[in-house]
């Protein structure tokens, strides 16, 4: 039986949590000698941005009282694990009660430009998930360039399709 959209988003978030752990390991694998480079700062900033974006959407959805001050918070590698753990907890709680009926509803929010917007929740969550995939690829490329160990975070390697003979 196929997964409902709400079940799929919960599955995708389990996958994303695994990817977050792998991304932190990738960043930690960068040799100390390369951690003062602008590319290292950019890689850490990409992960911090993903956390801030997730936090902003939780805030807009009314699932968190905490609104990030910026899309690009100044965050050190040492601060990232706690930030990731906090955002994962919030999203796991939010997604636990999400229904397919909820996903069909329009969601209204105010953008950073002050304009009021309306978007179907299904489409908003699709964007949020795709946003993480996009930035993890950027981080993996920076990690490789910095001499660290990139890890493939493709969905197929997480879910492992069944082998048929």
**Domain segments of the chain as ranges:** 5-159
Whole-model pTM above 0.95? no
**5-159 CATH:** 1.20.120.450
- Chain segment 90-103, per-residue pLDDT in tens: 999 999 999 999 99
Sign of CA dihedral 117, 118, 119, 121: positive
The reported pLDDT for the residue numbered 165 is 83
Angle between helices 5-28 and 80-96 (to 10 degrees): 170
List, for the chain, all residue ranges whose pLDDT scores fall below the cut of 70. Answer: none
The reported pLDDT for the residue numbered 160 is 82
Burial of 129 (0-12, 13-18, 19+ CB in 10 A): middle
């Amino acid at each position: 039986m196929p997964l409902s959209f709400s079940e799929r988003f919960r599955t995708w978030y389990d996958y994303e949590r695994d990817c977050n752990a792998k991304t932190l390991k990738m960043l930690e694998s960068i040799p100390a000698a390369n951690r003062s480079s602008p590319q290292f700062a950019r890689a850490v900033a990409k992960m911090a941005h993903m956390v801030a974006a997730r936090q902003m959407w939780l805030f807009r959805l009314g699932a968190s009282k905490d609104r990030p001050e910026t899309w690009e918070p100044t965050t050190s590698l040492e601060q990232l694990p706690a930030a990731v753990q906090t955002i994962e907890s919030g999203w796991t709680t939010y997604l636990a009660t999400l229904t397919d009926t909820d996903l069909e509803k329009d969601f209204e929010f105010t953008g950073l430009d002050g304009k009021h917007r309306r978007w179907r929740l299904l489409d908003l969550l699709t964007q949020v998930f795709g946003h993480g995939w996009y930035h993890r690829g950027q981080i993996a490329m920076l990690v490789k360039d910095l001499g660290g160990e990139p890890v493939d975070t493709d969905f197929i390697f997480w879910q492992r399709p069944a082998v048929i003979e």
